[in-house]
Structures are given as C-alpha cells and as structure tokens.
C-alpha cells in the first residue's frame, strides 16, 4: 500500500515573525523554578508500595538458583519477582534483543538486576533483599574488549561471533590508493573513555495495574513509545492495556532512552500485588544502568595533499559495549557514518567492532556515537595543520564540504553554515591576533562538527509517521497541543507552543501543551537523536496551519473578504490591508467554532526516504533530513608543572538552521559545552583500578574486577559553577529547506567540538598532545616530562609551533 505522505519542503517564509525567533519564557520553567513541578518521585498513590532491586555482586556469573522464600515471609513484603517470570528478551533495537527485565540465567556485570521486592516502604524492601539467597557460579570476568575478544568464554551464549556485539566495515573510494598518493600522512591512536550522563534526577517509575486490566506507568523516560512497546512484549499485555506517562524530567541526555529494569519491575510487581508500586534508583543504580558514552579505542590514518586537502580517512575503532546491546548496533555505524562532514573526503574507510564486556552497558549519550570519532579526527586535523604550516581554521575552510551536496558516504546535506561558524569564532576569540602567539601556558584550539536532526529511520521498520500532533482550540481563546514527544528539559514543549502561537495569532502562554502521555497524545518516537524540533516541528506546523486557515476563513466570511486578507497575530485577527480593522482572537475563534463546530486538526511527519542517502547495507543509519554544524574555539591556561588545565573561555558557534526559540538554543549550546568540557577534563566512568593480590601489588584480585570506582556525584566529578568556563554562545542561522521554518537541531551538535578543541588548545599552550581522554593533570605532566627527556637527548626539538 502506497500512502501519500506529507514531506514538507518549507517554502520561503517572511522574516517578520511574531513569535518565531523571539525570546520567550520556557514552557513549564516557572513550575520547576518554584518547586511546583511534580517529577516522577513526587507522585504518590494510595496504598503505594516501594520496590527495590537485588543486583549481582559478580561481574560474570551463572545464576544457579534463587530462593526468595525468606524475603516473601518478611512482614511488610507484598511481592517478589525474579527473572524467570519475565523471560522475554528485549532491546530498544529490535534486531538485538539480548536483555531481560531481571537476569534469569546469568549476571553480566556488577549491578545486573536479578530479583526485586515490593514492600510497604523502602527500608522493608531493602531488608527483604538481604533475605534473598542467590546461588551463583562465578565465571571469569571479561572487563575489557581485549580480554573479551581473547577469551573463548562468551558473555552471551547465543551470540554468533564470540563476544563481538557488532562489526561494521565500509569503504567509500580507494582509500589505500589515496593514502599512497598523499603528501602527508597523519596517524594517531586515540582513547575515549566512558562517561555517564549524570542527569540530576535518578530514574524513577511508578506503575499501577488496576482492576480493569489497565497498566498505567509514570516513568522518567525520554521514549514513552518505545517503553510502551517493550512493556507490552515483556509483560505479555496488549498495547491497548498500557498507558505510559512521562512526568517532568530532571535531565536525561540519552540516559533514559530505552526501557530499564525498574519499569518492568514496578509494573510486574503491581500486576502481582494489585497495588501501585514505585521504584526509584539510587545514584549508584544510575551508574549501573548507565547507557553512557562508549569507550572507544581508535586508530586513525589520514592522507593529505600538500595544500591540506583530505585525500583519505582510514578509521579503525574498538567500542567497549558493556554487558548488553542497547543502541550498540547504531553506535557502531555512527562511529564512522557521522564523520563525513563538515569536511569533504575523497575516500573513507572505517571498521568498527563493538565488543561485549562485563561492565555496565554503554549506549547513547548526547552526541551518540559521534563525539568520540570527532575527537580523533579534529585532533588529526590539528596535527596536519601544524605539519603543513597551515592555520587550523584555514585547513578546515579548505576542506569545507559545501551545501546542497552529498558526503562521501552518500548523505545528502542541505544548508551548511559551517564557514559562518568558523568566521564567527575566529573573530570572537581574536584568533588571528592570538593563535600561536600567546605566552607559554596559554593556548587556543579550534574544532568543528556536524550532527543529525533526527534519524531517517525509526528503530523498527514501519510506514507510520515518526511524529504526530493534535491541536484544538475553542471559544476560551486558548489552544491545546497534544503531542507524543518528550520534553526532557530541552524545551520541546516550548518549540511546539511557539510554532502554534505563530500560526494561530496567540502568545506562547496561550498554548497548553500536553505531551508524552500515550493515552492522550499521538505517537512520537521520543527525545533522541535531536529529532523533535525538526519532526514534531513539521507535524505541529501542519496542524497549526490548517487550524489557522479555518480561523482565517471564518473571519473572512464575517468580514466578507478573502481568507488571504486575514492575518492572525498578537491575539488579534486583522485585515492585512487595514491594520485598524481587527477583532480579538477569542472572537475569531468563536466565529470559527460557530461555523465549523468543534475545532481540531492533526499534523504528522515522516522523513523523506528517497534520495537522501546511498544504496548500500547500512546506508540509512545516520542519514538525517538535515544536519547542523558547529565550530568552537577554546582558550586554556595550562600549568605545565602541575598539569592543571583551566578552560578560560569557549566560543561556540552553531548553525541550527533557524532558532525558533533563541534562548533555548543558547541553553542547549551552553549545556553541551559544559557537558563536553566535563568529559574532556573530569569525568570517568571507570572501574576500580587495583586490588589485593597475595604476593603482588597493583594486580587485579578476585572480586575487584568489574566494580565501578565512582558511584556517587562526590566521587564522579561533574563541574561546579566555579569549574565552568565562560561560554559565548553564537547562533548561526542557515535555514534548511527540510526543517520547519528552516530549523535544525541544537541539542547535541554543540557538544562535539569542545573536547578536541580543548586538546588542541593545550597543544597551542604547551606543545604536548594528549590523545587519551580524559585529559588529567597526570597525563599532562607525563607528556611534558617525556618531551623534556626527548629534548635532553637532543633527538628532537619540540616547540609550540612544530609538530
């Protein structure tokens, strides 16, 4: 069946918007500021139980037996659940279902869930957990990709290729030929460490299965729709029996973009007990649930001609996946597929291997799969610029991809404001006067990037729209938007309100946005891959335009003119040719309601499928309707003796197509920059470094392998305000014909350049390269010492200006 779909290519729009591009308060912000907003854990139902989850203390162990009888007998315990009661394997990517709600046969990391208890309060639930007796057969922990690849022991017995979770090899053009032709080869080995999202709100779910066979779950999720599907599958319910509601979120950043044990546990325990059940993670459990950035081990080889043009990129990557797949199939593709702009390559090859390890599962963190390779390539470019004696900004300009073009791997790119981003940061940072000229210890570094505005394909194949919206208005003078998307703090509710207000002649405050409730709102796929502004924006625009048209037609009938003569703006309907002739918008709505009856429209969006990517296996993964572009300059102060790095300022210019709500775009740039700087310098989701081993120091001992080192926000450092640099957010607008009003993403792209720009700035400051993240004082001191030893030998003289 072929259906007609609206793939809206925006017409040129007038620049004199009333609401679009203006500064608005954020929808819902005051509730958060004043403490009125009710997050999931603020919700409470009568007779509600509290659930706690028992977790494996072993990194790798077969579960031989679970005895829950003592826990069940404890006073105040209402229900216990174990893995065999929810055996269905699931996964957010339907092709790789390798998780169970509770591990039934095997625990695969320290913290893997094996059983859960619902009790009258958390203390009782915790006490009951201690009474559950699990018999384990402890297996060899495989806590690094190297160990997992070398071992005959499989973490997932049914996996076909040992401990390889996903392998992708793609080549575009003759890479080896071009490398042979190159005037300059830059080779480097780069390590990107694991980092957690550290959202301030821990995951929480409240479930109630009522006596009419309806399961309602309130969850701090950013993907209500995917949660809805997986709950049905694992709990063996029909989707019509499940309602997923997402309350306000205290941060997500990718941490909440798939189902988690607590949602299944709360739901199942509610089904078993007939009572509402809440489950709230501890911070430690957030670090176990993880789905943070994958550690990448990257070997990059790039060939350049003498003018600095990139002839070839050859990228070899090992991804440390952790215990389960999560989005890993996509991550593995993204590790190469998202590298191919904003620079043009003649040839490109990447080979990426994701490996299962006995560690918390890695997944999508802001800038999914592409922040790590971006670090490698942007440092490679900096090294090339130094080798060629070129200014690093100039090198990037020379390799500019262009707009309305195709990348080497076949992605079709529309608008591209990357050169403008470079211009802006070059000027704002006074790059020309200062780069390579600052005193020893001070430095500037540059990096660029791109990101997607949603992925072209849903995680499951379908002909259905990716985004849907309903808008109603009535005689009250208000409009209501019902939208399935998740406002996770990024401000998607505001974006919808802005678009509706623009089209209906209202102010943003006149719009009520009801979002992310699977009973009340049309389906949207969720808050991931920076898709909502583009996709829901289109859907909302479609609905709002149609509704606005009805209002204008009703007013036109009243005034006996053409609907084109009526404009809706500033809470009025007015004559285009006579500004003195107007009626309040409420009266216009009354006229429309009288003529058309109850007023409502729908809007929806699906991505263009033809001619947006190449025709090879994996070609659609990473393809997007529109791409954002970013460039940053970072200024650092480095103390070469202690290795301390102080980031003084970051200038971040981002091409978001059109800023529908500029304050939110600035907020997204600042948040991205903050998060990236923290990853570069502080955060590390690492394991305990060493343990007792009789007879030897510094060796791993039994029991310590696979144990997370930092499981609180005291030990896992994220920057305080004092550690946060000054950030200059610069919005660049190059409207893309595929975005609503030309809008593209702003939530993830601006994170990418921060990390390589810091590394490049450190090189400008003190002349050493730190290619292994995080950049710690220790690594800097070691690099400076190594250089001094080299100098002493007289082998090579390194300075801030030579490679």
Kindly state whether residue 720 participates in binding other proteins, applying the rule CB under 8 A. Answer: yes
Largest CA distance in the chain: 96
The residue (of 250 and 548) whose beta carbon lies closer to other proteins is: 250
Cis peptide bond prior to 595, omega within 30° of 0: no
Kindly state whether residue 441 participates in binding other proteins, applying the rule CB under 8 A. Answer: no
In order of 165, 672, 751, 791, the CA distances from 337 in angstroms are: 18, 21, 18, 40
> Strand runs (DSSP E) across 494-577, as ranges?
511-515, 566-569, 572-575
Closest CA to 758 of 736, 738, 780: 780
* Residues in Cβ contact with 436 at an 8 Å cutoff, skipping those fewer than 6 apart: 764, 800, 801
Kindly state whether residue 141 participates in binding other proteins, applying the rule CB under 8 A. Answer: no
The residue (of 597 and 695) whose beta carbon lies closer to other proteins is: 695
**CB of residue 696 to other proteins, shortest distance in Å:** 7
Neighbouring C-alpha atoms within 13 Å toward the C-beta of 36: 6
- The count of residues interacting with other proteins (CB under 8 A) is 47
**CB of residue 110 to other proteins, shortest distance in Å:** 5
Binder to other proteins among 694, 792, 796, 797 (CB under 8 A)?
694
Q: Which stretch binds other proteins (CB under 8 A): 247-255, 361-369, 419-427, 718-726?
A: 718-726
**507: burial class by Cβ within 10 Å (0-12, 13-18, 19+)?**
middle
Backbone dihedral region for residue 192 (phi beyond 0: left; psi -120 to 50: alpha; all else: beta): beta
Binder to other proteins among 135, 519, 778, 788 (CB under 8 A)?
778
124/109 Cα distance (integer angstroms): 26
Binder to other proteins among 164, 688, 784, 803 (CB under 8 A)?
688
Kindly state whether residue 152 participates in binding other proteins, applying the rule CB under 8 A. Answer: no
750/673 Cα distance (integer angstroms): 7
**CB of residue 204 to other proteins, shortest distance in Å:** 10
Kindly state whether residue 75 participates in binding other proteins, applying the rule CB under 8 A. Answer: no
Closest CA to 665 of 541, 525, 424, 498: 498
Binder to other proteins among 57, 76, 173, 608 (CB under 8 A)?
57
**CB of residue 679 to other proteins, shortest distance in Å:** 14
**CB of residue 634 to other proteins, shortest distance in Å:** 18
Binder to other proteins among 67, 403, 420, 723 (CB under 8 A)?
723
Q: Which stretch binds other proteins (CB under 8 A): 246-254, 319-327, 685-693, 792-800?
A: 685-693
Q: Which stretch binds other proteins (CB under 8 A): 223-231, 623-631, 702-710, 753-761?
A: 702-710
Binder to other proteins among 36, 105, 701, 789 (CB under 8 A)?
701
The residue (of 55 and 229) whose beta carbon lies closer to other proteins is: 55
Kindly state whether residue 704 participates in binding other proteins, applying the rule CB under 8 A. Answer: yes
Binder to other proteins among 642, 791, 799, 801 (CB under 8 A)?
642
**CB of residue 57 to other proteins, shortest distance in Å:** 4
Kindly state whether residue 461 participates in binding other proteins, applying the rule CB under 8 A. Answer: no
Q: What is the DSSP string of 191-259?
A: EE--B----SSPPEEEEEE-TTS-EEEEE--S-HHHHHHHHHHHHT--GGGEEEE----S--TTTTSS-
Kindly state whether residue 110 participates in binding other proteins, applying the rule CB under 8 A. Answer: yes
Taking 3-state DSSP, the helix, strand and coil percentages for the chain, each rounded to the nearest 5, stand at 30, 25, 45
425/652 Cα distance (integer angstroms): 7
The residue (of 214 and 682) whose beta carbon lies closer to other proteins is: 682
**CB of residue 286 to other proteins, shortest distance in Å:** 10
The residue (of 112 and 748) whose beta carbon lies closer to other proteins is: 112
Binder to other proteins among 7, 282, 565, 649 (CB under 8 A)?
282
Find tokens 């990236």 and name the residue: 676
Kindly state whether residue 709 participates in binding other proteins, applying the rule CB under 8 A. Answer: yes
Kindly state whether residue 565 participates in binding other proteins, applying the rule CB under 8 A. Answer: no
Kindly state whether residue 703 participates in binding other proteins, applying the rule CB under 8 A. Answer: yes
The residue (of 307 and 693) whose beta carbon lies closer to other proteins is: 693
Kindly state whether residue 452 participates in binding other proteins, applying the rule CB under 8 A. Answer: no
**CB of residue 165 to other proteins, shortest distance in Å:** 24
Kindly state whether residue 35 participates in binding other proteins, applying the rule CB under 8 A. Answer: no
Binder to other proteins among 8, 24, 26, 58 (CB under 8 A)?
58
Closest CA to 487 of 476, 472, 498: 498
Binder to other proteins among 2, 722, 792, 795 (CB under 8 A)?
722
Structure tokens belonging to residue 544: 């709002």
Binder to other proteins among 94, 410, 717, 737 (CB under 8 A)?
717
**CB of residue 672 to other proteins, shortest distance in Å:** 20
Find tokens 């001992």 and name the residue: 701
Binder to other proteins among 150, 692, 786, 802 (CB under 8 A)?
692
**CB of residue 675 to other proteins, shortest distance in Å:** 15
Kindly state whether residue 283 participates in binding other proteins, applying the rule CB under 8 A. Answer: yes
**CB of residue 265 to other proteins, shortest distance in Å:** 17
Binder to other proteins among 67, 72, 85, 122 (CB under 8 A)?
122
Q: Which helix (H) or strand (E) holds 386?
A: helix 371-388
The residue (of 463 and 789) whose beta carbon lies closer to other proteins is: 789
778/87 Cα distance (integer angstroms): 47
**CB of residue 725 to other proteins, shortest distance in Å:** 12
Site for other proteins in 262-281 (CB under 8 A): 280
The residue (of 58 and 734) whose beta carbon lies closer to other proteins is: 58
350/172 Cα distance (integer angstroms): 9
* Residues in Cβ contact with 359 at an 8 Å cutoff, skipping those fewer than 6 apart: 59, 109, 143, 320, 322, 323, 687, 706
The residue (of 149 and 784) whose beta carbon lies closer to other proteins is: 784
Kindly state whether residue 12 participates in binding other proteins, applying the rule CB under 8 A. Answer: no
The residue (of 472 and 781) whose beta carbon lies closer to other proteins is: 781
Kindly state whether residue 126 participates in binding other proteins, applying the rule CB under 8 A. Answer: yes
- Secondary structure letter of residue 354 according to DSSP: E
Kindly state whether residue 648 participates in binding other proteins, applying the rule CB under 8 A. Answer: no
Binding mask 336-355 for other proteins (x = CB under 8 A): --------------------
Cα separation of the two ends of the chain: 60
33/774 Cα distance (integer angstroms): 33
500/55 Cα distance (integer angstroms): 47
The residue (of 170 and 262) whose beta carbon lies closer to other proteins is: 262
> Strand runs (DSSP E) across 474-526, as ranges?
479-483, 511-515
Site for other proteins in 156-215 (CB under 8 A): 202
Kindly state whether residue 613 participates in binding other proteins, applying the rule CB under 8 A. Answer: no
3 state SS of 343: strand
Q: What is the DSSP string of 757-795?
A: HHHHHHHHHHS----BSS--HHHHHHHHHHHHHHHHHTS
Structure tokens belonging to residue 530: 């920076």
Count CB neighbours of 89 within 10 A.
17
3 state SS of 188: strand
3 state SS of 68: coil
Angle ∠(290,293,299) on CA atoms, nearest 5: 145
**CB of residue 642 to other proteins, shortest distance in Å:** 5
Q: What residues line the site for other proteins (CB under 8 A)?
A: 55, 57-58, 110, 122-123, 126, 202, 280, 282-284, 641-643, 682, 688-697, 701, 703-704, 707-712, 714-715, 717, 719-723, 776-778, 781
């Amino acid at each position: 069946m072929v259906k007609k779909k609206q793939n809206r290519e925006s017409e040129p729009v007038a620049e004199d918007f009333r609401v679009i591009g203006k500064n608005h308060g954020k929808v819902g912000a005051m509730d958060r500021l004043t403490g009125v907003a009710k997050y999931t854990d603020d919700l409470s139902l009568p007779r509600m139980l509290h659930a706690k989850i028992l977790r494996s203390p072993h990194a790798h162990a077969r579960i031989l037996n679970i005895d829950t009888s003592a826990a069940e007998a404890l006073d105040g315990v209402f229900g216990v659940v174990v893995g065999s009661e929810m055996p269905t394997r699931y996964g957010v990517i339907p092709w790789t279902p390798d998780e169970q709600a509770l591990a039934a046969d095997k625990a695969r990391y320290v913290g893997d869930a094996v059983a859960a208890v619902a009790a009258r309060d958390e203390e009782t639930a915790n006490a009951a957990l201690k009474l559950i007796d699990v018999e384990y057969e402890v297996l060899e922990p495989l806590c690094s990709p190297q160990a997992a690849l070398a071992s005959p022991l499989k973490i997932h017995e049914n996996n076909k290729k040992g401990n390889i979770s996903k392998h992708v090899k793609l080549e575009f053009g003759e890479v080896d030929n071009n490398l042979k032709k190159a005037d300059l080869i830059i080779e480097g080995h780069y390590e990107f460490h694991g980092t957690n999202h550290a959202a301030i709100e821990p995951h929480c779910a409240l479930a109630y299965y009522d006596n009419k066979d309806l399961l309602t779950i309130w969850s701090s999720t950013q993907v209500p729709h995917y949660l809805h599907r997986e709950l049905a599958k694992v709990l063996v319910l029909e989707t019509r029996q499940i309602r997923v509601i997402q309350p306000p979120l205290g941060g997500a950043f990718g941490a909440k973009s798939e189902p988690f044990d607590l949602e299944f546990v709360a739901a199942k325990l509610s089904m078993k007990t007939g009572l509402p059940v809440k489950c709230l993670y501890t911070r430690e459990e957030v670090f176990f649930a993880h789905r943070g950035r994958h550690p990448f081990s990257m070997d990059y080889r790039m060939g350049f001609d003498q003018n600095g043009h990139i002839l070839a990129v050859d990228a070899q990557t090992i991804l440390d996946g952790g215990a389960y797949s999560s989005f890993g199939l996509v991550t593995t593709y993204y590790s190469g597929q998202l590298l191919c702009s904003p620079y043009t390559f003649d040839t490109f090859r990447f080979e990426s291997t994701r490996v299962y390890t006995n560690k918390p599962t890695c997944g999508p963190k802001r800038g999914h799969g592409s922040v790590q390779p971006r670090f490698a390539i942007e440092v490679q470019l900096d090294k090339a610029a130094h080798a060629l004696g070129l200014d690093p900004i100039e090198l990037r300009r020379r390799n500019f991809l262009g707009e309305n073009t195709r990348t080497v791997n076949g992605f079709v790119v529309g608008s591209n404001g990357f050169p403008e981003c470079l211009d802006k940061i070059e000027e704002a940072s006074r790059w020309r006067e200062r780069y390579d000229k600052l005193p020893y210890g001070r430095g500037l570094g540059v990096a660029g990037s791109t990101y997607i505005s949603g992925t072209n394909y849903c995680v499951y194949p379908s002909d259905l729209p990716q985004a849907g919206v309903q808008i109603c208005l009535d005689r009250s003078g208000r409009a209501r938007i019902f939208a399935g998307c998740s406002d996770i703090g990024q401000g998607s509710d505001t974006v919808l309100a802005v678009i509706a207000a623009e089209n209906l002649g209202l102010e943003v405050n006149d719009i009520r946005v009801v979002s992310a409730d699977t009973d009340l709102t049309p389906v949207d796929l969720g808050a991931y891959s920076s898709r909502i502004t583009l996709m829901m924006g289109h859907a909302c625009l479609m609905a709002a335009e149609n509704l606005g048209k009805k209002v204008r037609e009703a007013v036109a009938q009243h005034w006996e003119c053409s609907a084109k003569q009526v404009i809706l703006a500033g809470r009025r309907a007015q004559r285009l040719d006579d500004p003195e002739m107007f009626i309040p918008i409420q009266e216009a709505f009354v006229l429309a309601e009288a003529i058309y009856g109850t007023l409502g429209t729908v809007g929806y969006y699906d991505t263009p499928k033809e001619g947006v990517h190449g025709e090879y296996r994996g070609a659609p993964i990473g393809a997007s309707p529109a791409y954002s572009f970013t460039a940053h300059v970072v200024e650092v102060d480095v103390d070469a003796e202690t290795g301390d790095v102080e980031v003084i300022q970051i200038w971040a210019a981002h091409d978001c197509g059109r800023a529908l709500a500029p304050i939110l775009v600035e907020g997204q740039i600042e948040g991205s920059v903050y998060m990236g700087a923290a990853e570069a310098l502080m955060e590390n989701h690492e394991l305990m470094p060493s343990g007792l081993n009789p007879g030897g120091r510094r060796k791993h001992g039994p029991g310590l392998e696979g144990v997370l080192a930092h499981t609180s926000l005291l030990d896992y450092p994220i920057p305080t305000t004092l550690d946060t640099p000054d950030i200059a957010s610069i919005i660049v607008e190059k409207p893309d014909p595929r975005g609503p009003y030309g809008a593209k993403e702003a939530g993830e792209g601006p994170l990418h350049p921060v990390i390589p720009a810091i590394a490049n700035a450190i090189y400008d400051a003190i002349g050493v390269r730190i290619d292994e993240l995080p950049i710690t004082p220790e690594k800097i001191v070691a690099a400076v010492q190594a250089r001094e030893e080299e100098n002493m030998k007289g082998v090579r003289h390194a300075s801030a200006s030579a490679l």
